[in-house]
Amino acid sequence: MKKRTLVSMITGALVIGAASTTFAAANPFSDVPADSWAYDAVSKLASDGVVNGFPDGTYKGQQTMTRYEMAQIIAKAMTKTDIDKADKALVDKLAAEFSEELDNLGVRVADLEKKSDNVKWGGRLRYYYRGVKDDSAANKDRTNDTQYELRLEPKAFIGDSGWTANARIRYYSNAASANNGGSTNNGTSDKSDTKIDRIFVEGPLFGSDAKLGKVGTYSDNVFNTGMIIDDSISGAEFNWTFGKDKSNYAKATIGRYDYNSGANVGVSNYAYDGTGDYTSFEFGHKAKDKGISALAGYYSLRNMDSTFSKYAKADSDKTNFWVGGLGYKFDKNIQLFGLYAKSDMDEASNYLGDDQSKAYDITLKYKNADIAKAGSWDIYAAYRYLGQFATIAPTYDISARDTKGWQIGTDFVLSKNILAMVEYYKGKRLSADYSGNDADYNAIYGRVDFFF
């Protein structure tokens, strides 16, 4: 028989249809004669266990294939280790397309990957530019910040236990700026650094997907805002998903939070500086293509050190944050949502007005950029109000804590795994506005990400 690649085998089978259930014999199917143009492809796939026949020994290639039958073929093809690079790329693309059906079959890509390679490497190379004009600052000129960042994310499979060992290694460097002599937004000089900011094990525990070690924690798995926190803690995080289509989740996080704004490049001065015991509970429902989405969360910092506790209520070493969110998907492309957060810092020192203990985000988004699809894009408009004492370390790129304002942005996939973003924010500094000082604040942000 002429040797063929997995691509040609699957292509031949798909052209005439697919098989189902079981196949007990190694001989060709009774309804695929030896002189058929597809005989080699079907026979080879059957002998390799990639496709099966019907109990009566037929292939029934003239029947229309269901997505479930296609997922069965892909699942078996994913277990093959002796395939070339082009074949593997095709199988990976098919697996992404039929991910939901593979989920229903109980197939997990990570479980299949470990059959061919015990260690997987992923990562990202990023370049960004941020320009900020803050009239409340001593220097009212626009400051410019550019940064390069390389992330390497190795994952090692721990036998057949379902557990993996993970890490994230970051190298970042600020480029000099013509406007501010190479300084960054937080006033430090041009510098670079390498650090391991995550190192943890992940696997099934107590019915959840558990992460233990120095893990990344991100608030809001529903609307993906990260409004309360997007950072690392030393501790544990447990994520349970449930419901017919796993659209509901519960997440619990506990650990020690240590954040030093001056030690990180390109981070706003308005982030916390200190340590505290961190606890959070979050529940959410995420509509798939249409319908209501909802979020509720509680986050707490306790036993804060002297630097951190100046943000807490008087005579207290703890503070709490609550968040609620509601959204509606009109269809798979249009989504409107809002989140509201509140803290108990009404008596904090340096507190300026009741509004500094609340935060909210109202966003209208059209479409979704998918890094696996070149040419895909999205656009959004949002109004954000971020009280200085209402969040911990939000993920927003230019919507800074202690500001309120409008933001627009767009994402565009230049090529597969290459994502470009542009954002513009126009607003005011809350503390300066409350004091009657110049408060205008506007910023522009652009970046390109290369994922691998």
Q: Name, in order, each residue with C-beta under 8 angstroms of 138's C-beta and a sequence gap of 6 or more.
A: none
How many other C-beta atoms lie within 10 A of the C-beta of residue 66?
12
Over residues 370-397, the mean pLDDT reads: 93
Backbone angles phi, psi at 37, to 5 degrees: -60, -25
Reference 187, options 145, 240, 127; nearest CA is 145
Axis-axis angle for helices 67-78, 85-97 (nearest 10): 140
What confidence category does residue 303 fall into, taking pLDDT thresholds of 50, 70 and 90?
confident
Nearest-angstrom CA–CA distance, 251 and 52 = 41
- Residue for token pair 């190479």: 182
Q: Over 80: is that where the pLDDT of 146 sits?
A: yes
What confidence category does residue 330 fall into, taking pLDDT thresholds of 50, 70 and 90?
very high
Over residues 284-293, the mean pLDDT reads: 94
User: 228 with 208: CB under 8 angstroms?
Assistant: no
The lowest-confidence range among 171-185, 221-235, 280-294, 315-329 is 171-185
- How many angstroms from the chain centroid is the CA of residue 445? 20
What confidence category does residue 334 fall into, taking pLDDT thresholds of 50, 70 and 90?
very high
Q: How far is CA 226 from CA 103, 176, 397, in A?
A: 27, 29, 11
pLDDT at res. 438: 87
pLDDT at res. 95: 74
What tens digit of pLDDT does each residue of 188-233 get? Answer: 445 688 989 999 999 999 999 999 999 999 999 999 999 999 999 9
pLDDT at res. 127: 96
Pairing between strand 418-429 and 119-134?
unpaired
What confidence category does residue 5 fall into, taking pLDDT thresholds of 50, 70 and 90?
low
Over residues 446-452, the mean pLDDT reads: 97
User: 367 with 376: CB under 8 angstroms?
Assistant: yes
- Domain residue ranges in the chain: 6-112, 119-451
- Residue for token pair 């002998």: 47
Residue length of the chain: 452
Cα radius of gyration (the chain)? 26
pLDDT at res. 208: 96
User: 377 with 367: CB under 8 angstroms?
Assistant: yes
The lowest-confidence range among 84-93, 209-218, 401-410 is 84-93
- Single-letter code of the amino acid located at 301: L
Q: Name, in order, each residue with C-beta under 8 angstroms of 253's C-beta and a sequence gap of 6 or more.
A: 217, 233, 235, 236, 237, 238, 278, 279, 280
What confidence category does residue 380 fall into, taking pLDDT thresholds of 50, 70 and 90?
very high
Axis-axis angle for helices 6-16, 85-97 (nearest 10): 40
Q: How many CA atoms lie within 13 A of 249 on its CB side?
A: 24
Reference 44, options 16, 89, 10; nearest CA is 10
159 versus 40: the higher-pLDDT residue is 159
Q: Which stretch of DSSP H or E encloses residue 14?
A: helix 6-16
Tokens in use for 269?
A: 């001065």
Nearest-angstrom CA–CA distance, 235 and 279 = 10
Three-state DSSP at 215 gives strand
pLDDT at res. 442: 95
Q: How far is CA 26 from CA 48, 63, 263, in A?
A: 10, 22, 64
Over residues 44-63, the mean pLDDT reads: 54
Over residues 257-280, the mean pLDDT reads: 61
Nearest-angstrom CA–CA distance, 55 and 136 = 77
Over residues 266-278, the mean pLDDT reads: 59
Query: Which range, 39-43, 94-98, 238-242, 301-305, is most confident?
Result: 238-242
Q: Name, in order, each residue with C-beta under 8 angstroms of 174's C-beta and a sequence gap of 6 or more.
A: 145, 146, 147, 182, 184, 190, 191, 192, 265, 266
What confidence category does residue 187 fall into, taking pLDDT thresholds of 50, 70 and 90?
very low
337 versus 6: the higher-pLDDT residue is 337
Tokens in use for 349?
A: 């020192």
- Is this prediction's pTM over 0.75? no
What confidence category does residue 265 fall into, taking pLDDT thresholds of 50, 70 and 90?
very low
- Single-letter code of the amino acid located at 180: N
- Which residue(s) pair with 379 in the sheet? 366, 410
Three-state DSSP at 351 gives coil
Nearest-angstrom CA–CA distance, 141 and 323 = 35
pLDDT at res. 25: 39
CATH of 119-451 among 3.40.50.620, 3.50.80.10, 3.30.360.10, 2.40.160.10: 2.40.160.10
pLDDT at res. 21: 36
What confidence category does residue 179 fall into, taking pLDDT thresholds of 50, 70 and 90?
very low
135 versus 271: the higher-pLDDT residue is 135
Over residues 134-152, the mean pLDDT reads: 90
What confidence category does residue 54 fall into, taking pLDDT thresholds of 50, 70 and 90?
low
Three-state DSSP at 90 gives helix
Backbone angles phi, psi at 430, to 5 degrees: -65, -45
What confidence category does residue 349 fall into, taking pLDDT thresholds of 50, 70 and 90?
low
Over residues 42-61, the mean pLDDT reads: 54
354 versus 183: the higher-pLDDT residue is 354
Q: Over 70: is that where the pLDDT of 389 sits?
A: yes
Mean pLDDT of the chain, nearest integer: 78
pLDDT at res. 92: 73
